[in-house]
Amino acid sequence: MSIQQSDVLYTAVATALNGRDGRVATDDGRLDVTVNPPRELGGSGAGTNPEQLFAAGYSACFQGALAVVAREEKADLTGSTVTAKVGLGRNDDGFGLIVEISARIPEVDPDTARSLIERAHEVCPYSRATRGNIGVTLA
C-alpha cells in the first residue's frame, strides 16, 4: 500500500553531481561525500559508492524495524547488530542488486532471533520498498 504526499512525515533530499563518479550531498549539509566506482568496476575506489550508501541506509532502517518488533515481544536487543551486504551485478535488464541482511542478536535464542528478523523484514520500509524488485535473503 502506497502513502500519499499528505502522509509524509519527513523527506530526505540528496543531490548527485556527476553520477557514480562525483559527489552526493544532502540539502541540510549533513552528508556530503565523494562517490567513485569501486575498483571491481574499474573505478578508483577513492570515495564511497551508491551500493555502500544503500547498505548503510538499509542496515540502519532494518535495525530500527527490529527494535519495533523486539519491543512488542519484550525481547532484549542489547549488543545487536544488523549488516546489509548489497551486491551489484548484471541481469537481463543490464544491472541489478541483491541484498543479504544478517542480524546478530546475542541476548535471545536462535529461534526467537529468526522470528524477530522475519517480522522486521515485513515492517522495514526498505524491505517493503524492495520486495519483489530485488533478491533479499535473511541470515
> DSSP letter at 30?
S
What percent of the chain is predicted at pLDDT more than 90?
96
What is the number of other CB atoms lying within 10 angstroms of the CB of residue 97?
18
**Interatomic CA distance for residues 102 and 114, integer angstroms:** 10
Q: What is the pTM of this model?
A: 0.93
The whole-number pLDDT of residue 1 equals 64
C-alpha cell at 49: 559508492
- Asked if residues 109 and 129 have their Cβ atoms less than 8 Å apart, the reply is no
Tens of pLDDT, residues 7-51: 999 999 999 999 999 999 999 999 999 999 999 999 999 999 999
Instruction: Using the predicted structure, report yes or no on whether residue 64 has a pLDDT greater than 80.
Output: yes
What's the pLDDT score for residue 3?
A: 86
* For residues 65-93, average pLDDT: 96
Q: For 114-128, write each residue's pLDDT tens digit.
A: 999 999 999 999 999
Residue in 101, 110, 99 with CA at minimum distance from that of residue 81: 101
